[in-house]
């Protein structure tokens, strides 16, 4: 059987041999036979099946799952770093990850460096033994990082590279193949894919992931079995959904460039994007997320949201339904005015995550709503 192609078959288990791996809704396990799982915070068979399947998809030895993407990021960084260590990330990293690094970790004696966006700037900040944390496609600038070059530099200086692959998913890129030591996914987005799950994963070589798993058991950032079940279901259609989302992404982004009042359409699949040439080489698809400015909309984002009938306004992305957000007042509200300027977020900026609807309907919905508000 070729296990590299998704969806893979769920593991069939005794005594009932179900085709779909079941939810093991139990807090603990009977001793001595259940000693391998011991207690629900330590391990759960449904979560283990999800970890097995994500490892196959991410082409890594091992995966451990968490209660959220941030659970995956924080537990991994707590395990990898100690006081006096340096961590390098970029200004365009997801705001919560940024806060964790430049706020919380700094308080505990870890030295953060926040690089300007883009591969060259990041490369120039890598020093001996540092840990680099980047996003395969960054949120919200959508910069695509040259993971291969960054990994070579990090490894030659004795450090480690962590890649948050939430925006690309293993369908569009395998960051471990490109040299990342640890690949993080927020399963809350494209992987589970239906706006009904909060979960995360960290994948990499066995020993490294086992150390992170051991800390997860201690800090209790474990995934619950229902979330694992829904994420397993999401994995079965990830490939199909991403094909449709990639197709819609490029079509909607190109079309938005021609819409009156829409400016600065930013999407890795457009030849105006600063990393377009590199994106073509490294991504199988450009994904579903784009940003753009709407001229004259300042202060009227809620009116725009109310005028939309297909696209849903929400603090998330990566679902079968198209979702729009206003980064300045939503995901990136904790950034200072200077930081917002650096990530090109203004009052007029919106982030759109296209779903699997018909692309013309997505564009029409936006056009009608813009016309009704300005």
Binding site for ligand PLP (CB under 6 A): 68-70, 94, 135, 139, 164, 166-167, 186, 188, 198, 200
DSSP 230-296: HHHHHHHHHHHHHHHHHHHHHHHHHHHTTSTTEEEEE-TTSTTSTTHHHHHHH-SS--SEEEEEETT
Smallest distance, ligand PLP to C-beta of residue 70, A: 4
Element (H, E) at 56: helix 45-58
Smallest distance, ligand PLP to C-beta of residue 318, A: 8
Cβ-contact 268, 287 below 8 angstroms:
yes
Instruction: Show the tokens assigned to 49.
Output: 């099946």
Instruction: Name which of 200 and 288 has its Cβ closer to ligand PLP.
Output: 200
Instruction: Name which of 198 and 308 has its Cβ closer to ligand PLP.
Output: 198
Instruction: Show the tokens assigned to 201.
Output: 């994963």
Smallest distance, ligand PLP to C-beta of residue 249, A: 16
Identify the sign of the CA torsion 119, 122, 124, 126: negative
Smallest distance, ligand PLP to C-beta of residue 50, A: 14
Smallest distance, ligand PLP to C-beta of residue 17, A: 33
Instruction: Name which of 131 and 139 has its Cβ closer to ligand PLP.
Output: 139
Instruction: Name which of 122 and 363 has its Cβ closer to ligand PLP.
Output: 122
DSSP bridge pairs for 323: 312, 353
Neighbours of 38 (CB within 10 A): 13
Return d(Cα 153, Cα 124) in angstroms, integer: 10
Smallest distance, ligand PLP to C-beta of residue 14, A: 33
Identify the sign of the CA torsion 354, 357, 358, 363: negative
Instruction: Name which of 45 and 71 has its Cβ closer to ligand PLP.
Output: 71
Instruction: Name which of 186 and 255 has its Cβ closer to ligand PLP.
Output: 186
Return d(Cα 166, Cα 171) in angstroms, integer: 11
């Amino acid at each position: 059987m070729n296990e590299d192609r998704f969806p893979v078959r769920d593991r069939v288990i005794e005594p009932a041999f179900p085709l779909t791996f079941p939810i093991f809704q139990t807090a603990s396990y009977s001793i001595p036979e259940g000693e391998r799982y011991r207690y629900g915070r330590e391990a759960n068979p449904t979560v283990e099946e999800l970890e097995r399947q994500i490892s196959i998809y991410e082409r890594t030895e091992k995966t451990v799952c968490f209660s959220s993407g941030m659970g995956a990021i924080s537990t991994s960084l707590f395990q990898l770093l100690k006081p006096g260590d340096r961590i390098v990330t970029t200004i365009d990293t997801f705001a919560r990850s940024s806060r964790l690094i430049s706020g919380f970790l700094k308080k505990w004696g870890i030295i953060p460096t926040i690089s300007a966006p883009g591969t060259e700037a990041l490369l120039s900040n890598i020093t001996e033994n540092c840990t680099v944390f980047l996003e395969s496609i960054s949120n919200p600038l959508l910069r695509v990082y040259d993971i291969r070059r960054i990994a070579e530099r990090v490894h030659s200086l004795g450090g480690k590279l962590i890649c948050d692959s939430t925006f690309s998913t293993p369908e569009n890129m395998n960051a471990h193949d490109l040299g990342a030591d640890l690949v993080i996914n927020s399963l809350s987005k494209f992987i589970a894919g239906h706006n009904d799950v909060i979960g995360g994963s960290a994948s990499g070589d066995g020993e490294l992931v086992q150390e992170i798993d051991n800390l997860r058991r201690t800090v209790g950032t474990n995934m619950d079995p229902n979330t694992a079940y829904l994420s397993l279901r999401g994995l079965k259609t990830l490939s199909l959904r991403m094909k449709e989302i990639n197709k819609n992404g490029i079509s909607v982004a190109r079309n938005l460039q021609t819409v009156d009042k829409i400016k600065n359409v930013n999407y890795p699949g457009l030849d105006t994007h600063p990393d377009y040439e590199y994106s073509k080489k490294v991504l199988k698809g450009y994904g579903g997320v784009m940003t753009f400015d709407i001229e004259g909309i300042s202060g009227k984002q809620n009116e725009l949201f109310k005028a939309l009938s297909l696209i849903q306004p929400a603090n998330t992305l990566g679902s079968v339904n198209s979702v729009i957000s206003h980064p300045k007042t939503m995901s990136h509200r904790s950034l200072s005015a200077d930081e917002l300027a650096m990530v090109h977020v203004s009052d007029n900026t919106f982030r759109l995550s296209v779903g699997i609807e018909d692309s013309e309907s997505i564009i029409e919905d936006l056009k009608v709503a813009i016309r009704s508000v300005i």
